[in-house]
């Protein structure tokens, strides 16, 4: 959640005390309206100060992600990566921007012309918004922004079905040996955070708003 936006880390505190809520079964909790979870025993009960028996001198605060408890006792599936995590991150990013937070959380690349468009993702950032004027084609109810034929990250081309094309992309279309994806005018690429700068290049072959058939979306 620490992505340079609405959630930040307070480093001014010398010490903090954690309280975990354990229920008869792992379950969803609402903490001041925000979704959270009860504690799931994955083998680190000894980290608690009031744990029965011996208490860990150097507690491991990280849950054991390989524990069988995630498959047999968890309230919901454990999501560590892939398209599901990308969608969650994109939704949080969109909500933060709607609320006026996270101006630096996502960089915006405006797609106004055909050709190659590049952007540099600074260290720590991983979200790139592909923005363009949206239009509709006769008989097509989709909001159409731009046709993306290729996305490269540091010179390496991504499959257009890659989960990092997180939100705002229509289904892949093919003709002959070519394939492409329309955006809806506000697509989001989620490359995840990184400690180094990265270069993203997007190849655009059609801008919907510039076409003769375009009508207002």
Lowest-confidence pick of 7-11, 14-18, 108-112, 115-119: 7-11
Q: Is the pLDDT of residue 165 over 70?
A: yes
Lowest-confidence pick of 29-43, 55-69, 158-172, 200-214: 55-69
pLDDT tens, residue by residue, 92-109:
666 666 565 554 456 888
Cβ burial 37-49 (10 Å sphere, 16+ → b, else e): bebbebebeeebe
CA distance 61 to 189: 31
Any residues with CB less than 8 A from the CB of 170 and at least 6 apart, and which?
142, 144, 181, 182, 183, 184
| Mean pLDDT value of segment 43-66 | 77
Gyration radius of the chain's alpha carbons: 22
CA distance 94 to 38: 26
Residue 66's pLDDT is what? 76
| Mean pLDDT value of segment 115-133 | 87
Q: Is the pLDDT of residue 29 over 80?
A: yes
- Give the SS3 label for residue 172: coil
- Angle (CA) 206 207 213, round 5°: 95
| Mean pLDDT value of segment 143-167 | 93
């Amino acid at each position: 959640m620490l992505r340079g936006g609405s959630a930040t880390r307070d480093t001014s505190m010398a010490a903090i005390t954690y309280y975990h809520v354990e229920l008869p079964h792992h379950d969803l909790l609402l903490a001041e309206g925000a979704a959270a979870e009860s504690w799931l025993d994955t083998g680190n009960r000894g980290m608690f100060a009031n744990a029965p028996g011996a208490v860990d001198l150097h507690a491991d605060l990280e849950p054991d992600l390989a524990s069988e408890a995630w498959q047999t006792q968890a309230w919901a599936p454990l999501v560590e990566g892939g398209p599901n995590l990308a969608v969650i991150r994109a939704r949080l990013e969109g909500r933060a921007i709607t609320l006026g937070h996270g101006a630096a959380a996502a960089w915006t690349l405006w797609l106004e012309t055909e050709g190659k468009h590049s952007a540099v993702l600074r260290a720590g950032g991983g979200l790139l918004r592909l923005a363009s004027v949206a239009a509709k084609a006769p008989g097509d109810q989709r909001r159409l922004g731009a046709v993306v034929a290729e996305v490269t990250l540091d010179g390496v081309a991504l499959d257009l079905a890659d989960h990092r094309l997180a939100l705002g992309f229509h289904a892949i279309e093919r003709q002959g040996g070519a394939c492409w994806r329309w955006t809806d005018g506000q697509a989001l690429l989620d490359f995840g955070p990184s400690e180094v700068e990265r270069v993203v290049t997007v190849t655009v072959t059609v801008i919907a708003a510039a076409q003769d058939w375009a009508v207002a979306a």
